[in-house]
Amino acid sequence: MTLNNARLVFWVGALVSAAIFGWMTYDFHQQEEKYAHNSKIDEQVVAGKKVWHKYNCNVCHTILGFGAYYAPDMTKAYYRLGENNIISIVMEPEKVYRDSFRKMPNLGVSEEEARNLVRFLHWTADIENRNWPPQDEKYVKAAKMRADQPANVERTDIVLGTCGGCHSFVNQGRNVAGDFSDLARESSFDRTTLIRFMQDPQSVNPDSDMPPQNVTPETAGIIADFILSLR
């Protein structure tokens, strides 16, 4: 290949690549609402993003592909953990992760900041990013279906989609607060008590560190039946 031919290949390749990149960028900006749901970015979402930066959450977590890999990815955390769990984790991590090998420092996050952070993570969780991270997709699907179509969701997916951020079962979920098989054997709660415990843990056990779960009575009943079936 001559020098002129090499230059031609370089310039044609560079210009074609630049044109493709430019077109893809233009096309994305024409579809921002479809993929990023910009209309849902309100003052609370913006405030939550500022909380994320204020406490340097990227030092330990990743979100939308950016950050460190010490702690779990937070892109779909809203569906993996739920609102009340996120608030409890960021405000009292020393309690939630007391028995976990992976620790999180108490950064002094206020309740208002925690609620703003939840709004930001809710918006982030709904961005169309081709189901990334893939390990959280089962939580997203279960969380979106469990309230409206619980009969169409696998029972284990409902359980893990609700509780998998802290509990594990058959090597799925996170064993921060115990595996369901062990909890089922150790618990003496009946079905009614289990449902009440999920929705208001401290009313059943004042010493419990578990936050109230954002679940409907129907979903709580499905989870209670699942736990009882493991005894």
The enclosing H or E element of 208 equals none
- Model confidence at 43, in pLDDT bands (50, 70, 90)? very high
Determine the pLDDT at residue 57. Answer: 96
Spatial distance between the Cα atoms of 92 and 106, rounded to a whole number of angstroms: 6
What is this structure's pTM? 0.72
- CB 78 within 8 Å of CB 139: no
Spatial distance between the Cα atoms of 195 and 180, rounded to a whole number of angstroms: 15
65 against 158, higher pLDDT? 65
- CB 125 within 8 Å of CB 79: yes
- Model confidence at 150, in pLDDT bands (50, 70, 90)? low
Q: Which long-range CB contacts under 8 A does 157-162 form with residues at least 24 apart?
A: 158/219, 158/222, 158/223, 158/226, 159/222, 159/223, 159/226, 161/79, 161/80, 162/82, 162/213, 162/215, 162/219, 162/223
Mean pLDDT over residues 149-169, rounded? 72
Topology of the domain comprising 38-127: Cytochrome Bc1 Complex; Chain D, domain 2 (1.10.760)
Topology of the domain comprising 135-229: Cytochrome Bc1 Complex; Chain D, domain 2 (1.10.760)
- Model confidence at 80, in pLDDT bands (50, 70, 90)? confident
Using CA atoms, how far residue 126 sits from 98, 108, 140, 191, in Å, is 30, 27, 9, 33
Q: Which long-range CB contacts under 8 A does 66-73 form with residues at least 24 apart?
A: 70/102, 71/102, 71/104, 72/174, 73/133, 73/136
- Model confidence at 148, in pLDDT bands (50, 70, 90)? low
Mean pLDDT over residues 35-47, rounded? 93
Mean pLDDT over residues 9-26, rounded? 94
Task: Convert the pLDDT of each residue in 163-175 to its tens digit.
Answer: 877 888 877 777 7
Q: Which stretch, 6-15, 31-40, 172-181, has highest mean pLDDT?
A: 6-15
Task: Convert the pLDDT of each residue in 121-132 to its tens digit.
Answer: 999 999 998 888
Q: Which residues contact residue 143 at a Cβ distance below 8 angstroms, ignoring those fewer than 6 apart?
A: 79, 82, 161, 162
Plot region of 131 (φ>0 → left; ψ -120 to 50 → alpha; else → beta): left
179 secondary structure, DSSP code: B
Determine the pLDDT at residue 11. Answer: 94
Spatial distance between the Cα atoms of 194 and 198, rounded to a whole number of angstroms: 6
